[in-house]
Amino acid sequence: MNIIEIKDLSFSYQDEIQALSNVNLSVKKGEWISILGHNGSGKSTLSKLIIGLLKADSGKILVDGVILNEESVHDIRRKIGIVFQNPDNQFVGVTVEDDIAFGMENLCFQQSEIIEKIKEYSKKVDMSDYLKKEPHALSGGQKQRVAIAGILAMKTDIIIFDEATSMLDPKGRASIMEYIKEIKKAGVTVITITHDMKEAVLSDRIVILKEGRVIACGETNDILNDKETLNSSNLELLLPLKLQYLLDEANISNDKVKDILWQLSLNK
Partner 1 sequence: MKNIIIGQFIPGTSFLYKMDPRSKIIALMLLMVSTFILSSVSHILIMLGVVLVILKIGGIPVTRIARGLKPIMILLLFTFTFQIIFIKTGNLVFDTDLTLTYITLPIILLIVIFWYFTKRYTRFKFLYLLITVFGILTLLSLYNPGSIISSSHLEIYQDGLEGAFFIMIRLIIIVTLSTILTLTTKPTDLNLGLEKILKPLGIIRINAEEIAMIISIALRYIPTLLDEANKIMLAQASRGVDFSEGKFKDKIMQIISLLVPMFIISFKRSDDLANAMEARSFVPGKRRTRLHTLSWHNIDTSVIVFCVLVLASVITVRIML
Among 24, 111, 221, 263, binds partner 1 (CB under 8 A): 111
Helices (H), 154-249: 170-185, 197-200, 220-225, 227-232, 239-249
Cα separation, 68 vs 80, whole angstroms: 12
CA distance 190 to 205: 11
Backbone phi, then psi, for 3, in 5-degree steps? -85, -30
Smallest distance, Å, CB 105 to ligand ATP? 28
Q: Which of residues 110-169 bind ligand ATP (CB under 6 A)?
A: none
CB proximity list for 154: less than 8 A, separation 6 or greater = 81, 103, 104, 107
How many residues touch partner 1 (CB under 8 A)? 41
Q: Give just the sign of the alpha carbon dihedral 137, 141, 147, 150.
A: negative
Q: Coil, strand, or helix at residue 86?
A: coil
Work out whether 172 is an interface residue with ligand ATP (CB under 6 A): no
Residue 44 engages Mg ion in binding (rule: CB under 5 A): yes
Task: State the nearest-atom distance from the C-beta of 213 to Mg ion, in Å.
Answer: 16
Residue 223: CB minimum distance to Mg ion, A: 20
Smaller CB separation from partner 1, 19 or 214: 19
In angstroms, the CA 171 to CA 90 distance is 23
Q: If binding means CB under 6 A, how many residues of this protein chain bind ligand ATP? A: 13
85 binds ligand ATP (CB under 6 A): yes
Q: Which of residues 38-77 bind ligand ATP (CB under 6 A)?
A: 39-45
Q: Is 138 in the site for partner 1 (CB under 8 A)?
A: no
Q: Is 37 in the site for ligand ATP (CB under 6 A)?
A: yes
Residue 244: which residues within 8 A CB-CB, separation 6 or more? Answer: none
| Span near partner 1 by CB under 8 A; candidates 5-13, 85-93, 170-178, 248-256 | 85-93
Edge-to-edge strand list for the sheet holding 80-83: 80-83, 158-162, 189-194, 32-37, 205-210, 213-219
Residue closer to Mg ion, measured from CB, 12 or 244: 12
Interface with Mg ion, residue 45, by CB under 5 A: no
Q: Which is nearer to Mg ion, 45 or 122 (CB)?
A: 45
Rule CB under 8 A: which of 166-225 touch partner 1? none
The string of DSSP codes covering 115-134 is HHHHHHHHHHTT-GGGTT--
114 binds, among ligand ATP, Mg ion, partner 1, none (CB under 5 to 8 A by kind): partner 1
Which residues are near ligand ATP by CB under 6 A? Answer: 13, 17, 19, 37, 39-45, 85, 195
